[in-house]
Structures are given as C-alpha cells and as structure tokens.
Structure 1
Amino acid sequence: MSDKKKDESAARLIVKNLEAHGVKDVIGIPGAKIDRLFDELADSSIRTIVARHEQNASFIASGLGRITGKAGVAITTSGPGVTNLVTGMATATSEGDPMLAIGGAVGRADLVKLTHQSLDTVSLMRPVAKFSSLIGAPNATSEIVSNALRAAEGGRPGAAFVSVPMDVLNLPANAPVMGGIDAPPPGPAPHDLIASAARMIKSAKRPVVLLGMLASTPENAQATRKFIRQCGLPVVGCYQATGVMDKELFNWWGGRIGLFRNQYGDLLLEKSDLVITVGYNPIEYDPVLWNLHPDRPLVNVDVVPAELDNSFMPACELIGSIADTMSLLADETGKLTAAPEMTGILETYHRSLKEVYNTITPPARNTLHPLEIVHVLQDFITPDMTLCFDMGSFHIWLARYLYVFRARQILISNGQQTMGVGLPWAIAATLVAPHQKALSISGDGGFMMSAMELETAVRLKSNIIQIVWIDEHYNMVEIQEKKKYGRGTGVSFGPINFAELANSMGAKGINVQNVDELKAALKVGMETEGPVLIAIPVDYTDNPSLMKPLPELGGTTSASA
C-alpha cells in the first residue's frame, strides 16, 4: 500500500464511520465517481457485495434494515447509478426500513454544469428519503454520515441519502469518527396519558387492537403479546404486522387486513367501539376504508405523532417507545372481558380458515391452485425460516391464509406494494443468517424485475428457495381491471423457462406440476447448498374470490389497490 493510500481521505473517513456503526456488508455497483470509496472498502472489515442492478442493491440494503433494525447500506455511482436507487428508497421509507444510500457525484466545480452524469441527486431523493444531503467539504464527512444513519434508524425508520462529489472523496479529512454515536432510545409515553388510555379501553364495550408495521419488531411484538395476554382483546393486523401474535394467542387473532375491505378483521373493526392502533401507518391500509366511524375513539401507540386524516384522528396518542408503552398499558388496563359478538366473529373467522379449502375450484391439468401451494407451505416452513414475499395476487393468498408466529418472519411490501423485492430481501436474510434457509416467493412478473440477482445469490452461496408462481400475466392488475372494465388490458406477456434460467446462472432449477412434485422439490431445496428455484404453473381461476364482498359488511368491497 502506498503512502498516499494511507492518508486519511474523506473516502476513508466514510468507511471508518460505517465500521464504527457496525456495518458488516455494503451492496452496490461501482463507477468512476465513487470508485475511491470502493477502493477504501477493500481494505476494511466491511464486505463489499456487487449487485447486478442498483435498485436491487437498495432492496437488499432495506431488507437488512428491516431484519436487523440497523441501516443497511447501498453504494452506487453518479447519474443513473443513483436514479436507480429511487424505487428502493421510496419503498424503504414507506415500509419503515432503515437504510443508507451513498451516491457518487461529479466534482463540486461541475455540480451545476451540463457535464457527464451531473444531476441534483440530493433534491431528487428528498421526496423519498428522511434525510438527503451532500458532503460539500471533507471535514463534514462524519457529521453528514452519522446524522444520515441517525435519521434512517430513528423515529419511524426509513431511507437516508448522502451524495459525495468525486473530488471530496479524494481530499484529506481531519475530523472525528461519529458513526458509533447512537441516538438515545425513546422512553415510554407519559404515565398520565397511559392511564387515560387505559380508562378509555376499560370503558369500551368492544375494543379491538389494530397492529401496524412497527408492532412487528421483536421487542414491540413481545410487549404487544403481553398486552393481549393480560387484557384479552381481539386483534387484527396489517400485512406487515405478521408474526406479532404467537400460537398461545392465536384464538384472539382476527386475521390480516389490507387492500380490500372484505375480511372478518374488517368486520371486527366495523363492530368495535374503540380501536387501539399499534405502530400503524396509514399507508398500510387507508383509514378511510377501515374507519367508517371517525367519531369513534382511537388510541394510537407509536413512536411519532399521527399524521391526521379525516378518517384518522386519535382521541389519545401514546408517543414514545412502543415496547415500553405497551407493557405499561397492559399493567394499567388489566384483564378485560371480550364481548360475545366479537368472540363470535373470531370463531367464524377461524372456521373459515379451514372451510376455504373446501371451496376451491379444481385447477387445470398440470397446474396448482393457490391454496394447494399455501397448504404445502404451511406444513413446510419452520420457525427459523424467513419468508420474503414479492408483490402480486399470490401475496394476498399467502397473507390471508399462511400464518407464522415469529416477529418479522415474513417480509412483505404493503406501503408501495413494490414488485421485485422478494429475491433481494431473501439475499438480505441469508446475509444475516447464512446457515438458515430463506424462502422467496414471486410471481413471474415480479421475479423478472430482480431475476438477475439470482447470480448474486449463487455467488454468495445464499441458502434460498425461490418459488415462482407462473401464469404469464400481471395478475394483480388483471383481476382489478376485469372487475372494473370486464376485461384485462396490457397485462399479458410471454413464457419463460424459469428452471433453465436458474440453471444458466448456476442455481438449481426445478419445474413442478402437482402437489407431490412441489413437496419433493421443497425437500431438494432444503438439502441443497445455495439457491434453488421452483417454477409452479398456477391456476388463478378463483382469484375473483379475493375481492368477494363479505355479506356482514353490506355486500360491497372497498379497495385501496
């Protein structure tokens, strides 16, 4: 290593801040405007993972953030290298996933010139990030990087962006490392407000708990379980709250709700006279769909104050540590008696989970019905396996009928409903737990938006089972178009041999056409080191049932999709 290389540059200072913050991996694609940073990473304790597309680098980083609670890091070059991050960053901010993106930029003298890859990326990122700034001087490096990390992880987590001009990266820097200075954690909500909320809950006749995305962190889930166990209340959850309820409390579970207002969980909310929202973000499920009684009192437990809405005006807000607040609220509220009307709805819901299998239309030859796949997966998944769902109508079948009991065991997009996240998130899961299997599930439309990362998974020897549901349509769009207009438009595409595609990248590809073949393929997936892709032709004939009205809700289906 040359003496010049040993000099403390801004690039080296960025790396030191990331190391101090505990960053183990960065994901990205280099280029001339950012290559000095990649060169410094080569001599650090941080592993550099080369992605095949910047959007997927941001998905992997956000997946790391969701799983660990610490910001995942993506690094890309200037111009299109940064613009390709936008979808991943918008998804991370919407979904509450901490991540930091570092983007290269032209030199400071060229920032406002029409030169190669000049672009005001700081302004570009402001609508999709919690923090967006440029390192304008080398001695500001630690300040900006550390504040970006704090912004990404603090409050309701999300994306942060730092732009670094190429000349700044190479300049000497004389500043302390701040990356290891964490913001102090919040305490519980004020006790008088907790006591007030408890009185409201105890005076209600039919209270219901609505779980949102932030209820699903391990510490928040544990405290929420304590509240349900001690109080005994019906619980419903948005898609990202999966795994908050454990087996012991499953009888209180009223199901996952979202997209369409036609579930028994929606009926519980309709009948309730008070709703306790825990870590809920309106982007998960629009309150205008589930809160048809805006004068009904709401108790909102969150880390940040609510963004007020005509249909979401909490009567009491408990702002602070969700875990600490829920634990104290459990002690303050005590044991309650659920109304027979509400327990009756819960019983009907749990019967429906079994009866739905008797209503399926037999699938066409050499295809599987969605519920056949769900049933096989329910018996297959283990508590240590992380499931990563892409976006499509398949994810509604899975969200409604597949259940797990570990917080954040399922990663699912419900804010932006972003296609292409499944495989990158599964790669993130295997980076965190390399010896455990991750199960990624995609439709054939969404999978092709990140399929190139199968090579990344092969390179990393990621223990991933990738399932692709095949119907040669953007089916989620198609079913809604048919409901609205009586036909689908712009939703079909051609066939791909996904097993051969997987084999060409060094993975193991398997085609299946029935339940027994699916079970055998999953067994192979468990026994194989590295990624295995299982391609399943799916018969979506019963998809209209996903939007079928629930008679008890008035015979209509409202939708946010």
Structure 2
Amino acid sequence: MTKTNGAQALIQSMINQGAHYVFGLPGAKIDRLFESLEHNDDPRTPKLIITRHEQNAAFIAAGIGRLTGKPGVVATTSGPGVSNLATGLITATSEGDPVIALGGQVPRNDIARLTHQSISSKELLSAATKDSVEVQDANNLSESFANAYQNAVSPKAGATFMSIPQDVLNDDVTRPVIKPLHKVEQGGVDSETLNQIIEKIEKAKLPVILAGMRSSTNEVTDAIHKFLHKFSIPVVETFQGAGVISRDLEKNYYGRVGLFRNQIGDTILKESDLIIAVGYDPIEYEARNWNIGRTGEIINLDSIKPEITNDYQPDLIVNADIAKTLNEISSNLPDGIDLGSDMHKHLADQQEKFTKKDAIPANHSDENGIHPLAIIHALQNQVDDDTTVTVDVGSLYIWMARHFRSYKPRHLLFSNGMQTLGVALPWAIAAALERPEKPVVSVAGDGGFLFSGQELETAVRLHLNIVQLIWDDGYYDMVRFQEIAKYGHDAGVKLGPVDFVKYAESFGATGMRVERAEDLEPMLAKAFDTKGPVILHIPVDYSDNIQLASKLVDDVLN
C-alpha cells in the first residue's frame, strides 16, 4: 500500500474542491508541496504558477476568487513569505474575494524558538483573514482545507489562511481526504416580510436600487434584470457593482457612487424615498456619504447582516439569498406597476445631464498629455461586452469608475475597499487564465503599475494576451490633486520618469507609446491584435482632476 504524505493529501483536497491553480513563491518550508505539485501524474493537479512576489500571488488568487466565486489558492514559504501575503489577503477579505492562503512554517518543535524564519504566522494573518489556523497534524490537513474553503466562500467571502509546519507536510496521512463540498444554500424571504417589501415599493414615489458588491454574481444580476423588466426604476452601482446593468437596460443606469459625493447617483439616492440596497457593503461607500439628509426608507437585501451605524439604520432587513428574494419580489409585484410619466420625464432629464459629462472637452490640447476622457472613449470603442478590464488605484480609477461603461458583472474590476495599489496587472493575469479566449485590459498609473509590474514576466512566461495601459503623469496624482484642493500645493508625490516601452521589451513583452489623442484608437487596435502582453504608454493630462472633487449635491462641501 502506497503511503500518502501531508503534501499529497493537501493536493488531493485541492483537486476535490476544484482548485485549478496554485500561485506563489518557493522556499524550504513549503518545498514538499511545490515538488508534489510540479511532479504529479494526476492530470487534475492544480497548475503551479510561480510569481515574482508573494503579494502579487495573493492578488492573482483574489482575482480568481472574484471572477469565479471559488477560492484562488496561494502558497508561500515561512517568515517573509507569509508576511508578504498580508496586503493581498486583507484586500481580498475587505472586498469579498475568496482566497485560501497556505503558508509554510518551521517544524513544530521550532515554532516557539527564535529560529530561522520562525514567526507567529497564524496570529499575524488573523487580522487579514476571516479565519487563520495552524495545522499540527498531517491527518487534519484535508479537514482544515475543506473548512478554509467553506469559510472563504461563505458570505461575506474573503481570505482564509493555513499555517503548515514543514514536518506536517512530510508526515504520513492515514485518514481519507474530504470529498467535494456541497454549496451551502440560503433560503429566500418569508411571506410576511415579502408583503412588507411589496407594500413599501408600491407606496414609494421614487424607489431606487443601490447595487453593491454582492449584487455582482450572475444569479443576483439576473434577478435584478428580471425585477427591472417588471418595474423599471433607477439603479445606482457601487464600483464593485459595475456591470450589473446590461446594455439592454441602460436606461435604468444612473452611474456609480464612491469616494466623493458629487455624482448623478448621489443625487438620485438623495431624491429617493425608498432605497433598495442589494448586496451593499459600507466599505465600498460609507452611508455617511450617500444617506446624509435623506428622509426616505431603506430596505437592506443581503446574504449577511448589515453593519448598523448612526448613518445606516435600514427600515427593513432581509438576511437571505439575494437572488431568491429578488425573484420572489418580482413575481409578486403587480402587473403594470410604473413610476408615472412625470417621474420618467424627471429621470430622463437627470440622465441627459449625466451623459453630457462623458464628453471630451472640445478645446483640450495634447501638449501636456491626453485628456482622461479621450483615453476612456478610445478604450470604450475598442472593447466588447466580454472584455475584462482591471483598474488600478489612482486618479485614473476615479475617471474609469465614473465614465467607463461595462455591461456584464465582474468584467470591470476595482479595488474600492482597501484601494490597494498594484492590483490591476495581477487581476488581469487571473482574467487571462480564466477567460483565455476573451480580451483582457489592465489600466494603471505610472505609480501603481510599478507596485506589481514585475509580474509582466509572469504574463510573458504564460503567453497571456493582456493589453496594459499606463497613464503617465509623473505623480501619485490621486493624492496630489486632493492635496492641492486642501492646501493649495502638493507634497511628497513627485515621481521620476520611466521608459515603459523599454521596460516592456526588457521582459520580452511588446511596448508602444501614444503621443496624441488621434493615435489612441489605431494604437489600441494594434495592441489588441498583438500576441502576448503589450504595454501602451500614454502621457495623461490630469489638469481637470479638480472637477473630480467638485460640488454637485447642494448640501455638500468637498
């Protein structure tokens, strides 16, 4: 009888739970797992993908989690290998992306000693994850992985961590591996609560859906579409709710809200006498921003209980399966329910004002760089609804969130919980792996790109087709323009120049540079037709950034 060691049992557990990839960096305390992944005869074994930094490996795993709803897996060695996971895991946990992180640890009898790379891994990452454990017996590895999986996907999804001592991976396993898990199903809304919801919707003059991060699954998005076909009302997306509104329902789209309270979505939310918050998470956009000065009611539909604050006290809380609840509501709404002609006219007027803000300023010159809206228009004309666009943090992310349209959920990705620099390229790698036949675009600034730009080598090695846009202005500009607005000058935000075309070529990728707005579309078309990763270096003029924090809603001073 062939013996099974801890590493082999862990791999079989990954196979049983449907993991397709393991991302990470090697090291002595985890090498048994890496060796068993690399040299394994089972064709179902997850593919081992080595990255250039542990943080980026965690970002890629989180990208897998966001795109698929199933945990991405990241594995690193002990000590700094584990500590480098912290930012990636806390980003995943705050933003609802399921991840399982595996960290090598010193042998069990060294854990309490001041030995090489001995740190309190479990305790360190407990604040960055939903659950953090240290496995002391090889026979517990499969159970621990199964529970890490279940914790990672259960609402609110997030990261889990397993610290695994080196000798535990090497020990023999005598227990069977846990079988594939069944999805944990939530029920729908009860009839009494359903009747209350229907009554509130019927009485409301302007009910509005606020579509949050947990509205962006295919099931919930389909349920929202069904609702809107029954009752056509405005929908405001959060940044992570991007793509909830499909192209055929664009008349219901009233923008996205986040960061500054000065968008058309803020105006619609303020006017609404009934907000139906669907999968809304306050980490995306705090209620103290959008709920200030409102007198209407709130219905909270979510798979988790809401955080109650002075600014967010819903009048009706439904903790149930969101899609099932919405479908029940749609089925029970009266036929012919409508907002009325006067309200439709008012909303059409608001939407017209909103749409005008997408126009490129007619008098803009390319002398100091290309206007953000020109870049967005060119990109919008290049992509289709199946294109995945990942967006880094910076001024570009505000412009993209406000003006770039996306018509499928989880095809326009933002970090809006932690606002973590460096996510765009790792997420694009995840998208290129999961959606290999579809276009993938990564958008970053010159500052944020270099947080994870070394993973360009990973993309080249994997022959991934990714178009990477770099908006270059030589500053950490999202900080800069806010400093200028507050203090009249900037501080600590200036960056030195980088030749990103040569940078791309040094990794074996293709580098291109755009100098004029009129060249954007042909250069983008060329980039999309080029095999492998392509960097498109674009000088950007952010002189209109002050408008991003300008006043729109009358009672707010930014």
Q: Is the 1:435–1:463 Cα contact (8 Å) retained in structure 2? A: no
Task: Spell out the pairing of 1:285-300 with structure 2 (5 A cutoff).
Answer: 285-293=285-293, 296-300=296-300
1:136 aligns with 2:131: no
Q: Give the drift of 1:516.
A: 3.2
Greater shift in the superposed pair: 184-193 or 299-308: 184-193
Q: Distance in 2 between matches of 1:358 and 1:370?
A: 8
Aligned residues of 2:27 and 2:76 also touching (Cα < 8 A): yes
Instruction: Tell me the alpha carbon deviations over residues 309-330 of structure 1, each in whole angstroms, 9 at most, x when there is no partner.
Output: 1111111112221111111111
Instruction: Give the Cα separation in 2 of the matches to 1:337 and 1:541.
Output: 43
Q: How much has 1:342 moved relative to structure 2?
A: 6.8
CA distance in 2, matches of 1:91, 1:380: 30
The equivalent of 2:306 in structure 1 is 306
Contact 1:155 1:303 in 2 (8 A): yes
Q: 1:30 aligned to 7, 14, 26, which one? A: 26
Write out aligned runs for 1:477-556 (5 A).
477-550=479-552, 553-554=553-554, 556=556
Q: Which amino acid aligns with 1:138?
A: A
CA deviation profile, 1:360-380 (whole Å, cap 9, x unmatched): 651342621001011111111
- 1:428 matched to 2:430: yes
In 2, the alpha carbon distance for the partners of 1:283 and 1:169 equals 37
Residues 155 and 355 of structure 1: CA distance in aligned 2, closer, same or farther (over 3 Å): closer
Structure 1 pair 354–554 and aligned structure 2 pair: CA distance change class (3 A): closer
What residue number does 2:125 align with?
Answer: 125
Alpha-carbon distance change, 142 to 524 in structure 1, aligned in 2, over 3 angstroms: same
Counterpart amino acid of 1:296? G
**8 A Cα contact 2:264 2:354, kept in partner:** no
How far off its partner does 1:446 sit? 0.4
415, 418, 425: which is aligned to 1:416? 418
Which residue in the other structure is 1:202 paired with? 202
When structure 1 is superposed on structure 2, of 227-236 and 455-464 the one drifting more is 227-236
Structure 1 residue 294, shift from structure 2 partner: 6.7
Cα distance in 2 for partners of 1:234, 1:222 equals 16
Instruction: Give the aligned residue type for 1:20.
Output: N
Q: Which residue of 2 aligns with 1:223?
A: 223
In structure 1, what is the equivalent of residue 338 of structure 2?
Answer: 337
CA distance in 2, matches of 1:352, 1:443: 26
Aligned AA (2:246): D
Q: Which amino acid aligns with 1:421?
A: V
Q: What is the alpha-carbon distance in structure 2 between the residues aligned to residue 456 and residue 364 of structure 1? A: 34
Q: Using the alignment, how far apart are the partners of 2:26 and 2:386 within structure 1?
A: 34
- In structure 1, C-alpha distance between the alignment counterparts of 2:47 and 2:510, rounded to whole Å: 26
Q: SS at the partner of 2:275? A: strand
Query: Sequence identity of aligned pairs in percent?
Result: 41
List gaps (5 residues or longer) in structure 1: none
> For residues 503 and 555 of structure 1, what CA distance do their matches in structure 2 show?
51
1:371 aligns with 2:367: no
Q: Is the 8 A contact 2:360 2:373 kept in 1?
A: no
Q: Which residue of 1 aligns with 2:154?
A: 154
- 8 Å CA contact 1:243–1:404 kept in 2: the answer is yes
Kindly indicate whether the alpha-carbon contact (under 8 Å) linking 1:78 and 1:105 is maintained by their aligned counterparts in 2: yes
Matched with 2:446 is: 444
Distance 1:475 1:360 in 2: 24
The residue number in structure 1 matching 2:90 is 90
Q: Is the 8 A contact 2:366 2:516 kept in 1?
A: no
C-alpha distance in structure 1 between counterparts of 2:269 and 2:480, whole Å: 29
1:197 Cα deviation from its structure 2 partner = 1.4
Contact 1:142 1:179 in 2 (8 A): no
Aligned to 1:349, which of 348, 351, 367?
A: 351
CA distance in 1, matches of 2:501, 2:57: 24
Contact 2:63 2:97 in 1 (8 A): yes
Aligned position for 1:100: 100
Partner amino acid, structure 2, of 1:444: D
Residues 27 and 77 in structure 2, CA contact (< 8 A), matched pair in contact too: yes
1:75 aligned residue: 75
- Counterpart of 1:398 in structure 2 is 400
Deviation, structure 1 residue 346: 4.5
Match of 1:253 in 2: 253
Pairwise CA distance, 1:355: 4.9
The 2-side partners of 1:437 and 1:543 are apart by 29
For 1:363-403, what per-residue CA distance to the aligned partner results, in whole angstroms no more than 9, with x for missing partners? 34262100101111111111221000011111111111110
* 1:291 Cα offset (Å): 0.7
Q: TM-score, normalised by structure 2?
A: 0.96
Tell me what 2:190 maps to: 190
Distance 1:358 1:507, change over 3 A: closer
CA–CA distance in 2 between the matches of 1:226 and 1:54?
Answer: 42
- Is the 1:102–1:161 Cα contact (8 Å) retained in structure 2? yes
Measure, in 2, the Cα distance between the counterparts of 1:342 and 1:491: 45
Q: TM-score by structure 1 length?
A: 0.96
8 Å contact kept, 1:360–1:542? no
Q: Give the structure 2 partner of residue 243 of structure 1.
A: 243
* Alpha-carbon separation, structure 1, partners of 2:21 and 2:362: 45
What CA deviation, in whole Å up to 9, does each residue of 1:74-110 have, x standing for no partner? 0000111011111111111111111111000111111
Query: Which region of structure 1 is more displaced relative to structure 2, 494-503 or 308-317?
Result: 308-317
Aligned to 1:18: 14
Residue 62 of structure 1: CA displacement? 0.4
CA distance in 2, matches of 1:360, 1:68: 41
| Cα distance in 2, alignment partners of residues 123 and 191 from structure 1 | 44
Q: Aligned with 1:451: secondary structure?
A: helix
| Pairs aligned (count) | 552
| 1:376–1:557 distance in 2 versus 1, CA, 3 Å | farther
5 Å-filtered alignment, 1:110-121, equals 110-121=110-121
Displacement after TM superposition at 1:237 (Å): 1.1
Cα shift at 1:192: 2.1
Rounded Cα–Cα distance in structure 1 between residues aligned with 2:415 and 2:362:
26
Separation (CA, whole Å) in 2 of partners of 1:336 and 1:278: 20
My pick for the range that moved more, 316-325 or 181-190, is 181-190
Q: Is the 8 A contact 1:458 1:506 kept in 2?
A: yes
Residues in 1 aligned to 2:332 and 2:557: alpha-carbon distance in whole angstroms: 38
- Structure 1 residue 341, shift from structure 2 partner: 4.8
Q: What is the root-mean-square deviation in Å for CA atoms of aligned residues?
A: 1.6
Give secondary structure in 2 for the equivalent of 1:202.
helix
One-letter amino acid matched to 2:338 = T
* Letter matched to residue 531 of structure 2: E
**Paired residues of 1:152 and 1:160 also in contact (CA < 8 A):** yes
Q: In the TM superposition, what whole-angstrom CA distance separates every residue of 1:153-179 from its partner, at most 9, and x where no partner exists? A: 111111111110001110001222225
Letter of the aligned partner of 2:296 in structure 1? Answer: R
Amino acid at match of 2:445: G
Question: Structure 2 stretches of 5 or more lacking a match?
Answer: none
**1:48 paired to 2:54:** no
Any idea what SS the aligned residue of 1:450 has? Answer: helix
SS at match of 1:452: helix
